[in-house]
Structure 1
Amino acid sequence: MTSVAAAIRAALLETDPRAKVFAARAVARDFASGALPFVFNVAMPDEPGRPARPELLPPGRMPKRGKFGSDRARIALWHALAHIEFVAIDLALDMAGRFGAEQGRAFVADFLGVAADEAMHFALLDRKLRTLGSHYGALPAHGGLWEAARNTAHDVAARLAVVPMVLEARGLDVTPPTLERARAAGDESGARILQRILDDEIRHVRLGATHFAAISSIRRESAENLWKSLVRAHFGGAIKPPFNDSARLAAGLSRDWYAGVA
């Protein structure tokens, strides 16, 4: 039988976006059903498989989206969101595959579930792009989103601190106003997609915070203090307000956590 590690590695190395969606959902389903043995006999790749398009650019070279009301700006927005969710599939798969052996079955199940959610988000966003006459890969995309995985490959606590508890938590801040702009523009289908993503991301951040707290307890460190030190050491950007305090609190992050590093 294929091990769970081998199945995760294969999904990570998949280059076709549609195939990666199916692979991520399949590995989560098969692990939950007991079809994949809890065996970690292969290493995770340093880099995931990527399609030839989109072209990946550094942040400073990304073209401006323009005003929200134009067709060009709408496509650019949905494309940027699709790229974030595409990379999020790999981040969740790598979390389960890289750290699962040391963290146990529940950890693997949780983050394979996150990968399946991110795959669904990507599929919804790619479908949205197609209704607008575009598709994923039609525009350049941010090339630095995998950097968090490179910087934290050595330590599960650092990975949890940066990926779910900083990067995904930022989505809790920026998604609601984007949702309201879509609704105000009469884009109810887009608003429903964003609401689905927001609801799932609250749960994802909460999973990250819960596992981080458990690891902090094992290390006999304050979770809040450890998180702040790891963010300062491994997150290259700034944690900027405004914050969605209610969504962050629902996800297990009180203002005391992030106020000191914002």
Structure 2
Amino acid sequence: MEFKNIIFEKEDNIALVTINRPKALNALNSETLKDLEAVIEMLEKDSEIYAVILKGSGDKAFVAGADISEMKDLNEEQGREFGRLGNKVFRRLEKLNKPTIAAISGFALGGGCELAMACDIRIASEKARFGQPEAGLGITPGFGGTQRLARLIGAGRAKELIYTGEMIKADEAYRIGLVNKIVALEALLDEAKAMAKKIAENAPIAVKLCKDAIDRGLQVDIDSAIEIEAEDFGKCFSTEDQKEGMSAFLEKREKQFKNR
């Protein structure tokens, strides 16, 4: 399947998804969001994909934000619907049943920062810049920024960044927990692929259930979360991969997982 604003590639069990609007610094318009939703639907159905890397085209930007030229003349209802579209797509990405890594080369502002936060792991180049500048445009963050940023870095720091519209560098993003790792720009994609490969070498069903336990557990109290973990832990013992992983460990041989 081909997309107008997204490039989809597959390397073994790893998917590489590139937002491809370099002249607009990969800004997200409705068309691109719908392309992304179609890609996510494809990924949901592909049992041979064990990890996903999301990046922007070129080195200047991961995604510079939502497309201001499209938003400028929206009325209240149209604005609400545009926000709902972005939130629906990003939530579907967040709930994707395989791990996602955002490889952030340059600007990740507004919708770009929100897109990165919808991924499980964020690797940034040393040239990356982050921010939620929406208040300076007369709007609020609309694709989950008011919710995910506070959950990732705490309400006080999130409010400061959102209220001021301050743009921060990669080292500050790392310090406050917004990104997992910083690497040189030229090493960014290799680092993301190396991490994706390491993830893909583990039992895919177990990784999927780890993600499920973490994400669902964060939404409930600790006692309920422990029950979720026990439920997912138990499910692993119905898989061939659990038998293979433990047998390989005891027999001191290389494991051969089959996603079953």
What TM-score do you get using the length of structure 2 for normalisation?
0.30
State the structure with bigger RCO (CA 8 A, min sep 6), 1 or 2: 1
Q: Whose Rg is larger?
A: 2
What TM-score do you get using the length of structure 1 for normalisation?
0.29
Q: Which of the pair is proportionally richer in strand?
A: 2
Q: Which of the pair is proportionally richer in helix?
A: 1
